[in-house]
Structure 1
Amino acid sequence: MESNVVDSTSDDAMDAFLEKFRSQPYRGGFHEDQWEEEFDKIPLFMKKAPLEIDPKENPDLACLQSIIFDDERSPEEQAKTYKDEGNDYFKEKNYKKAVISYTEGLKKKCADSDLNAVLYTNRAAAQYYLGNFRSALNDVMAARKLKPCHLKAIIRGALCHLELKNFAEAVIWCDEGLQIDAKEKKLLDMRAKADKLKRIEQRDIRKAKLKEKKEHNQNEILIRAIKARNIQLVSETADEDEDSASEDVGELSLDRLISENPYGARVNLDDQGRLNWPVLFLYPEYAQSDFISAFHEDTRFIDHLMVMFGEIPSWDLEQKYCPDNLEVYFEDEERAELYRVPVESTLLQMLQHPRYFIKALTPAFLVCVGSSAFCKNYLRGRKVHQMK
């Protein structure tokens, strides 16, 4: 009799619960349109863990992490856990996080040298894929101090040397690895590539040295030719040191003077041993200029003027720049004096003038219309030497 009463009570309670469940639906379920986002909040099903874990927002994940990285566990256990975590990130190609995990593992300073060597080697691999080749190389070197015959470390070190264009070192690392495993294909292929690139580099170095020597010899010949003509060269930087303003040609570095030449062309010797100069003509009235890349030293000024002003230039609106009207000058900057150049004279005759100094291996001359108001005003107050 008592048993029937209990069963009846239980049935009534169950009926009441089911009735309440029908009237008050469960509110903790996933929403149909957001189930993926909500599913990803559960630690067990997370595809990616957040960078920083807030215990209030993710209490389950914070609890799980505290169990995994429990400080009461041994340094070896913790280091291994970080290694495994880094490997997971590495598989996902999340190399930055992998580096962080491997670094945390190394911070545990466990006594297992093999484990530490693996952490260094794996971090080197992650750094390599991030393009941090020097950091990767430092890691494999640290790994080899702990485990000299660690083949993975040797392979990754050789790869780093290859990327850093240290081809000779890459060959050495490959040879060391092949002493451990003579059939390792990666090392065999890499050694062949590094050796080929090393030979190409050595060939290029030899070519560069031969070219440098050839240019040096050519420069020496040019210096002798210029010096034989009593032509004075001056560096652009000579203005900073008045004592060097009239340096002897033999004491000047032709390479330095060439590097100061902004026009590209340079003085050269022809087959007859005559000099061709890059020459600049300046027209101060209109702030215009002409550049002659090869003005032969035996050519007259009038010869070039006839060619350049055979047609009226577009900037000469008054059409007054005709060869017969033009006057040519060079400036002695040290004395602030002008010398009028006879247009029938040759370039060599002017370059041999004791007051002419060539800057940046590019002689320069001023050209203006002698009868113009501008020219008269330009010359006013200056000492002008008339040359025959």
Structure 2
Amino acid sequence: MARPEPDVASDDAMDSFLEKFQSQPYRGGFHENQWEEEFEKVPLFMKKAPSEIDPKENPDLACLQSIIFDEERSPEEQAKTYKDEGNDYFKEKDYKKAVISYTEGLKKKCADPDLNAILYTNRAAAQYYLGNFRSALNDVSAARKLKPCHLKAIVRGALCHLELKHFAEAVKWCDEGLQIDAKEKKLLEVRAKADKLKRTEQRDVRKAKLKEKKEQDQNEALLQAIKVYFEDEDRAELYRVPPKSTLLQILQHPRYFIKALTPTFLVCVGSSPFWNNYLRERNVHQIK
């Protein structure tokens, strides 16, 4: 087999380039006094990407971003890219940006139910750490509609119910998850805590009802003991006021008279010595 002839033109071009390289200083290198800052701008060596990518400041990074989020890719590919981006933000504990990334992934409306369930579940985790427990609960509920046996969604839903003090619901979610994996440690922990708090809550409700009933009985007894009258001085007669009567109703009574612009009543405790002695020689009428 004949050997190919060497490309003389190509060799001459390379020699020319090397001679030029040796005779002229390289202009693309880092500056000695700020090389660390310039090094940090190279996408490959960045420790942390900037929050906002300015094409003028970081043209290489902007170019990479445009490739990653290319709208010509399939919805599934784009959704997965946003999921990965959200996971990176989550690892950095930047939960707000994680929520935004997962939301963008869901907006792609890809046809993969598993991927969408993961996006919902991951967004729920970020919302949970932001303290948005109701939003997180909505997300895990959406994830379970797509994937009913998604254990991570069940665990996070149980945690949300626990934070919202929905103890019975937390126990229910834990029981459903334990049917899938009876040894899931987190579910066992949450269930034990939720069950204890549920029983404490039920006990407190019972105590509150008993206290309310006791106060009502005391008020009823007090109302039964207190007797209220007004006096018709012209006839030397007393009229007993019904406990549930209003002031207006009594003032409108034909035998009630106001003196010195001040309504007056006689209030005493029934069956007391004063009550027995005072009423002994007086005619008492019952107002209906």
**Fold in common (TM above 0.5):** yes
Whether the 8 Å CA contact 1:87–1:98 is kept in 2: the answer is yes
Shift of residue 155, structure 1, vs aligned partner? 0.3
1:249 corresponding residue in structure 2: 243
Whether the 8 Å CA contact 2:30–2:39 is kept in 1: the answer is no
1:352 corresponding residue in structure 2: 266
- Could you say which structure has the greater relative contact order, defined with CA pairs below 8 angstroms and 6 or more residues apart? 1
Q: Rate the CA distance shift 1:44–1:338 in 2: closer, same or farther, 3 A.
A: same
What TM-score does the superposition give when structure 2 sets the normalisation length? 0.73
Considering fraction of residues, name the structure with more helix: 2
**What are the superposed Cα offsets for residues 342-386 of structure 1, whole Å, 9 maximum, x if unpaired?**
xxxxxxxx8628xxxxxxxxxxxxxxxxxxxxxxxxxxxxxxxxx
2:205 corresponding residue in structure 1: 205
1:29 corresponding residue in structure 2: 30
Question: How many residue pairs are counted as aligned between the two chains?
Answer: 233
1:267 corresponding residue in structure 2: none
* CA–CA separation in structure 2 for the residues paired with 1:202 and 1:216: 21
* CA–CA separation in structure 1 for the residues paired with 2:53 and 2:40: 14
Q: In the alignment, does 2:67 pair up with 1:67?
A: yes
1:230 corresponding residue in structure 2: 229
Q: Rate the CA distance shift 1:70–1:20 in 2: closer, same or farther, 3 A.
A: closer
Considering fraction of residues, name the structure with more strand: 1
Shift of residue 42, structure 1, vs aligned partner? 1.9
* CA–CA separation in structure 1 for the residues paired with 2:207 and 2:45: 62
What TM-score does the superposition give when structure 1 sets the normalisation length? 0.55
* CA–CA separation in structure 2 for the residues paired with 1:116 and 1:197: 33
Shift of residue 94, structure 1, vs aligned partner? 1.0
Q: Rate the CA distance shift 1:336–1:86 in 2: closer, same or farther, 3 A.
A: farther
* CA–CA separation in structure 1 for the residues paired with 2:215 and 2:136: 41
**What are the superposed Cα offsets for residues 27-83 of structure 1, whole Å, 9 maximum, x if unpaired?**
741343x44333222222223323332322322111101111111111001111111
Q: In the alignment, does 2:45 pair up with 1:45?
A: yes
Q: Rate the CA distance shift 1:27–1:201 in 2: closer, same or farther, 3 A.
A: same
Whether the 8 Å CA contact 1:162–1:170 is kept in 2: the answer is yes
Q: In the alignment, does 2:174 pair up with 1:180?
A: no
Q: Rate the CA distance shift 1:142–1:219 in 2: closer, same or farther, 3 A.
A: same
Q: Which runs of 5+ in 2 are unaligned?
A: 1-11, 231-240, 247-257, 268-288
- The CA RMSD over aligned residues, in Å, is 2.8
What secondary structure is seen at the aligned counterpart in 2 of 1:230?
Answer: strand
* CA–CA separation in structure 2 for the residues paired with 1:71 and 1:335: 89
What secondary structure is seen at the aligned counterpart in 1 of 2:244?
Answer: helix
Shift of residue 93, structure 1, vs aligned partner? 1.0
Q: Which runs of 5+ in 1 are unaligned?
A: 1-6, 232-246, 253-333, 340-349, 354-388
1:135 corresponding residue in structure 2: 135
Whether the 8 Å CA contact 1:223–1:250 is kept in 2: the answer is no
